């Protein structure tokens, strides 16, 4: 028999024997049995197969969160194509870049966006544009229901491409991180064991499904463990609280924990049934970690990952593997190697601060059609440079203390200052701009912009923000914008963003 490393096949093996059991309960009152996931993904996979797409075709999704959108992901894996999830907040110019760069053969979008997305997609050579709405309407499912509900997963090797996730570097130009079936499966299996997923676990799934955290870490964990998901289309603190008594696992970015802590209903009693709270994608403040312990009696497990590597380090899931230490992202996962190096690439000792590098079966295949960029981000001996700055403690726990990449993480979403500056500089009357991240009580960091006008132009901040909002996803739009006479520069002419960050550090500070 041919061995098959298709990730779908492995996830499918995690489904319980009894396919009539509930796999997913949605917040609009629907229940999906495991058999529904099996049959629904087969029908979509058969539809994709019927399109006679070339091997390796990218299937791009710009949809609302729904179980059917998850089925589209599973179907893409199952049929052996490459999944390309896109944040549904992205606007036309952003999508133009992703579609032109990834050249998907299929694009799936919400019906309300069909007009502009199909026009854009067809102009860029996309063959098929389907619609998928969060009420199960749309052409994707209309067409899929005409296909068989049985499908044998395409045979894949572990090093074959499963998904492309766009992420960015210092230049602000997004790069597609190519993840293989083996990258995703090795990481999912490692987490299954390190976080000690249990039979009967129930996951509250309240994250978007177009990034590593919600799509891979959360969904793969539940699917591989045969765990029921309580599915929230959008994060609402009260909806999460209502589900806690029936759940055992919750995963969130720090903003979700901060917002839950504002709820009076977050108590030890409310969390009595829970086993595990996981945080990641952005730094969890030690105050949040401690407040959570005090309020709920639970110790949040913080882990660290990125699009190129899925998860790298984690605090322990089981007591026998050690304590969960606040302010750290834990230890390298069992099959992952992590090192901290100095400027000369020399491995540093515990306590010393340096650049974080990683090697292991989780590390991606490279950036889509950017071999030079890929080469730049790996050392000669095969370690991937994360762009994060960290320090190991004597007992092997890593703390992330900064980033060497110019990146803002706002509510778990990455914002690249260079990209926002590029859009600002294109607005009428703008001579130049500088975008920085400053501490924010809700989002962790907030995007703030300084803009300099061209000579004899009077700029209006509101107009500039409205201009940006029309062009880029809302989460990238600065929360505050200052029109300034000039930007501070050093002797080399480089903008001194550290001075701007210091000046505006308390912009969103809460009154004491
Ligand atoms: C929404 N808005 C944000 C924002 N999210 N602004 C800044 N930062 C954010 N993260 C803005 C919108 O543009 C809108 O602006 C307004 O807030 C309301 O939009 P909303 O969609 O109703 O917001 P809300 O539901 O409150 O969303 C906040 C959130 C969401 C925290 C729930 O951002 C979220 O789900 N974040 C999780 C991101 C995530 O999954 N990251 C994982 C990356 S994986 P306006 O002006 O139009 O009103 C990764 C690797 C790893 O990093 O290690 O996991
Ligand atoms: P992305 O490329 O969107 O996957 O973002 C990955 C980046 O998120 C990492 O390189 C880190 O900078 C950051 N990150 C993820 N998890 C954590 C964490 N627990 N603490 C600090 N930063 C984190």
* Strand, coil or helix: 193: helix
Q: How far is the CA of 411 from the centre of ligand 1 (A)?
A: 5
Rounded CA gap, 147 and 170, in Å? 45
The closest ligand to the CA of 445 turns out to be 1
Closest CA to 252 of 233, 277, 275, 271: 277
Q: Are 120 and 12 in contact (CB under 8 A)?
A: no
Domain residue extents for the chain: 7-14+31-156, 408-503
Q: How far is the CA of 281 from the centre of ligand 2 (A)?
A: 4
130 burial via Cβ count (<10 Å: 0-12, 13-18, 19+):
buried
The closest ligand to the CA of 388 turns out to be 2
Per-residue pLDDT of the chain (512 residues; tens, 9 = 90+): 568 999 999 999 999 999 999 999 999 999 999 999 999 999 999 999 999 999 999 999 999 999 999 999 999 999 999 999 999 999 999 999 999 999 999 999 999 999 999 999 999 999 999 999 999 999 999 999 999 999 999 999 999 999 999 997 555 579 999 999 999 999 999 999 999 999 999 999 999 999 999 999 999 999 999 999 999 999 999 999 999 999 999 999 999 999 999 999 999 999 999 999 999 999 999 999 999 999 999 999 999 999 999 999 999 999 999 999 999 999 999 999 999 999 999 999 999 999 999 999 999 999 999 999 999 999 999 999 999 999 999 999 999 999 988 899 999 999 999 999 999 999 999 999 999 999 999 999 999 999 999 999 999 999 999 999 999 999 999 999 999 999 999 999 999 999 999 999 999 998 77
Nearest residue (by CA) to ligand 1, atom 48, is 474
382 burial via Cβ count (<10 Å: 0-12, 13-18, 19+):
exposed
**Pair type for strands 331-332 and 310-314:** antiparallel
Structural element, H or E, at residue 442: none
Closest CA to 294 of 322, 318, 261: 261
Q: Are 228 and 350 in contact (CB under 8 A)?
A: no
Is any atom of ligand 2 closer than 6 Å to the C-beta of 403? yes
Structure tokens at 429: 């009357």
Nearest residue (by CA) to ligand 2, atom 9, is 306
Rounded CA gap, 68 and 79, in Å? 16
Structural element, H or E, at residue 131: strand 128-131
Using alpha carbons only, what angle is made at residue 306 by residues 374 and 82, rounded to the nearest 5 degrees? 70
Lining ligand 1 with CB less than 6 A are: 207-208, 211-214, 234-235, 253, 255, 280-281, 305-306, 410-413, 443, 474-475
Using alpha carbons only, what angle is made at residue 307 by residues 129 and 351, rounded to the nearest 5 degrees? 170
The closest ligand to the CA of 257 turns out to be 1
Beta bridge partners of 484: 452
Is any atom of ligand 2 closer than 6 Å to the C-beta of 313? no
Structure tokens at 338: 């992590």
Question: For position 173, what pLDDT does the model report?
Answer: 77
Q: What is the DSSP string of 320-387?
A: GG----TTS--EE-TT-EEEEE-TTSPBPPTT--EEEEEESTTS--EETT-HHHHHHHB-TTS-EEEE
**Size of the chain, expressed as the number of residues it contains:** 512
Nearest residue (by CA) to ligand 2, atom 6, is 306
Question: For position 512, what pLDDT does the model report?
Answer: 72
Spelled out in words, what is the top-level CATH class assigned to the domain 408-503?
alpha beta
Place of tokens 């997913």: 24
Q: Are 99 and 120 in contact (CB under 8 A)?
A: yes
- What is the separation of C-alpha 340 from the centre of its chain, rounded to a whole number of angstroms? 24
Question: For position 405, what pLDDT does the model report?
Answer: 87
Q: How far is the CA of 256 from the centre of ligand 1 (A)?
A: 10
Rounded CA gap, 256 and 263, in Å? 11
Rounded CA gap, 4 and 113, in Å? 37
- The DSSP code for 182 is H
Question: For position 209, what pLDDT does the model report?
Answer: 98
Question: For position 65, what pLDDT does the model report?
Answer: 98
Nearest atom of ligand 1 to the alpha carbon of 206: 35
**Pair type for strands 337-341 and 354-359:** antiparallel
Rounded CA gap, 35 and 449, in Å? 50
Rounded CA gap, 263 and 326, in Å? 22
7-14+31-156: in CATH 3.40.50.980: yes
Q: How far is the CA of 305 from the centre of ligand 2 (A)?
A: 5
Structural element, H or E, at residue 255: helix 254-261
Mutating to test ligand 1, I would choose from 237, 413, 415, 467 the residue with most ligand atoms within 8 A of its C-beta, which is 413
Structural element, H or E, at residue 233: none
Question: For position 169, what pLDDT does the model report?
Answer: 55
The closest ligand to the CA of 175 turns out to be 2
Rounded CA gap, 428 and 408, in Å? 25
Rounded CA gap, 85 and 63, in Å? 9
* Strand, coil or helix: 284: coil
């Amino acid at each position: 028999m041919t061995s098959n490393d298709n990730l779908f096949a492995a996830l499918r093996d995690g489904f319980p024997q009894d396919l009539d059991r509930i796999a997913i309960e949605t917040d609009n009152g629907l229940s999906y049995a495991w058999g529904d996931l099996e049959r629904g993904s087969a029908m979509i996979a058969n539809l994709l197969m019927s399109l006679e797409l070339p091997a390796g075709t990218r299937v791009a999704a710009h949809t609302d969160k729904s179980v059917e959108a998850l089925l589209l992901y599973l179907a893409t894996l199952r049929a052996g194509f490459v999944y390309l999830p896109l944040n549904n907040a992205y606007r036309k110019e952003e999508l133009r870049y992703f579609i032109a760069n990834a050249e998907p053969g299929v694009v799936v979008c919400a019906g309300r966006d069909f007009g502009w997305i199909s026009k854009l997609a067809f102009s860029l050579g996309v063959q098929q544009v389907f619609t998928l709405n969060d009420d199960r309407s749309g052409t994707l499912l209309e067409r899929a229901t005409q296909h068989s509900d049985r499908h044998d997963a395409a045979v894949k090797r572990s090093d074959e491409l499963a998904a492309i996730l766009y992420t960015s570097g210092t230049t602000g130009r997004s790069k597609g991180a190519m993840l293989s079936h083996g990258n995703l499966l090795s990481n999912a299996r490692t987490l299954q064991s390190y976080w000690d997923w249990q039979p009967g676990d129930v996951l509250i799934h309240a994250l978007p499904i177009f990034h590593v955290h919600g799509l891979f870490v959360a969904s793969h964990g539940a699917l591989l463990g045969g765990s029921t998901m309580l599915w929230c289309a959008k994060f609402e603190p009260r909806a999460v609280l209502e589900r806690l008594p029936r759940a055992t696992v919750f995963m969130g970015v720090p903003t979700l924990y901060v917002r839950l802590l504002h709820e009076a209903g977050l108590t030890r009693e409310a969390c009595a049934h829970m086993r595990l709270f996981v945080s990641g994608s952005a730094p969890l403040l030690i105050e949040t970690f401690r407040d959570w312990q005090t309020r709920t009696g639970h110790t949040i497990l913080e882990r660290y990952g990125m699009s190129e590597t899925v998860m790298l380090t984690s605090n322990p899931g089981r007591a026998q593997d050690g304590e969960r230490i606040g302010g750290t992202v834990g230890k390298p996962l069992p099959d992952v190697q992590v090192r901290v190096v100095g400027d000369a690439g020399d491995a540093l000792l515990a306590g010393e601060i340096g650049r974080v590098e990683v090697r292991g079966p989780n590390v991606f295949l490279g950036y889509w059609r950017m071999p030079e960029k890929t080469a730049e981000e790996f050392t000669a001996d095969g370690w991937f440079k994360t762009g994060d700055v960290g320090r190991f403690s004597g007992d092997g726990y890593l703390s992330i203390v900064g980033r060497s990449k110019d990146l803002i993480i706002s509510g778990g979403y990455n914002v690249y200052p260079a990209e926002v500056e590029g859009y600002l500089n294109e607005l009428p009357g703008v001579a130049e701009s500088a975008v920085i991240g400053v501490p924010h009580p809700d989002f962790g960091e907030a995007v703030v912009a300084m803009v300099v006008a061209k000579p004899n132009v009077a700029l209006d901040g509101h107009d500039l923000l409205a201009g940006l909002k029309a062009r880029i996803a809302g989460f990238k739009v600065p929360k505050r914008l200052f029109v300034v006479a000039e930007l501070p520069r050093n002797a080399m002419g480089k903008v001194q963003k550290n001075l701007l960050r210091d000046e505006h550090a308390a912009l969103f500070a809460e009154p004491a």
